[in-house]
Amino acid sequence: MSVPAAKSGGLGGGQARHVAIIMDGNGRWAKKRHVPRALGHQKGVEAVRALVHGAAGLGIEVLTLYAFSTENWQRPEDEISDLTRLMKRFILSDLDEMADNNIRLKIIGDYSAFTPDLVELIERALERTKANTGSTIAVALNYGSMDEIARAARLAAAKGAITPETIAANLDTADLPPLDLLIRTSGEERLSNFLLWQAAYAELWFTEVLWPDFTADHLKQALDAFAIRERHYGGR
């Protein structure tokens, strides 16, 4: 995996081209308000919608969102049903707007594990937006970074040598710019099997804000913090 050459004193963060978010805190948001957990997930989807709108003028080329991990299958069946229902609703209600605004949808992870009707909706959305040349919304569905790296290594081995470069070329994110900034909401400070390879030289930003309360203003705070950080990439 190649990274920009480090300069003396480090590189200023500048503009973050690729931002990823671990959207954490829907359940705690609901518990804090004594409302059903499903309402927390619904408010989380509304926060996604508002953030996509609000991020339009912030210069981000790619926004990658951790929506459903490989570990989320361990949750109660009714909660998984609520999550998949919300995914369907989001695609049905927002696809036209994404297409009209030249936004490309990308999925990382193995979305084929979901119900056939959701898979069909996802594939329809991918097909409709694949030629769009504006910003990209990458959604991690049934995604786990360790699984992704193992898959990439197998693909690299099938083609020849296994090197950092050949693994990177076979990751789900191979067609995206390098990850600049990874954000996690809700006060937790861990990566939870998300973009482990891609985050090797990314800047990390943690906030106590629960995901349903996260807004474009919070995103701008993270981008402002990124812009003044010195990025050394292993140098001095």
CATH code, residues 15-228: 3.40.1180.10
**Pairwise CA distance, residues 29 & 37, whole Å:** 8
Q: Percentage of the chain with pLDDT > 90?
A: 87
For the segment 140-167, what is each residue's pLDDT rounded down to a tens digit?
A: 999 999 999 999 999 999 999 999 999 9
Instruction: Give dist(CA 122, CA 186) in Å, integer.
Output: 28
The residue type of 128 is R
Burial pattern 134-166, b for ≥16 Cβ within 10 A else e, equals ebbbbbbbbbbbebbbeebeeebeeeeeeeeeb
pLDDT value of position 6: 35
Maximum alpha-carbon separation in the chain:
55
The active-site residue out of 24, 94, 172, 180 is: 24
Verify whether residue 72 is a known catalytic residue: yes
Average pLDDT, the chain: 92
Partner residues linked to 204 by β-bridges: 182
Average pLDDT over residues 49-53: 92
- State pLDDT tens for residues 225-235: 999 998 877 66
Laid out side by side, the sheet with 181-184 consists of 104-108, 136-143, 62-69, 18-22, 181-184, 203-206
- What are the start-end ranges of the E strands in the chain? 11-12, 18-22, 62-69, 104-108, 136-143, 181-184, 203-206, 230-231
> What mean pLDDT is predicted for residues 7-14?
54
**Which tens digit of pLDDT belongs to each residue from 63-80?**
999 999 999 999 999 999
pLDDT of residue 64: 98
What is the predicted pLDDT for the residue at 57? 86
Residue 13 pLDDT class (50, 70, 90 cuts): low
72, 101, 132, 193: which is the annotated catalytic residue? 72
Catalytic, 224? Answer: no
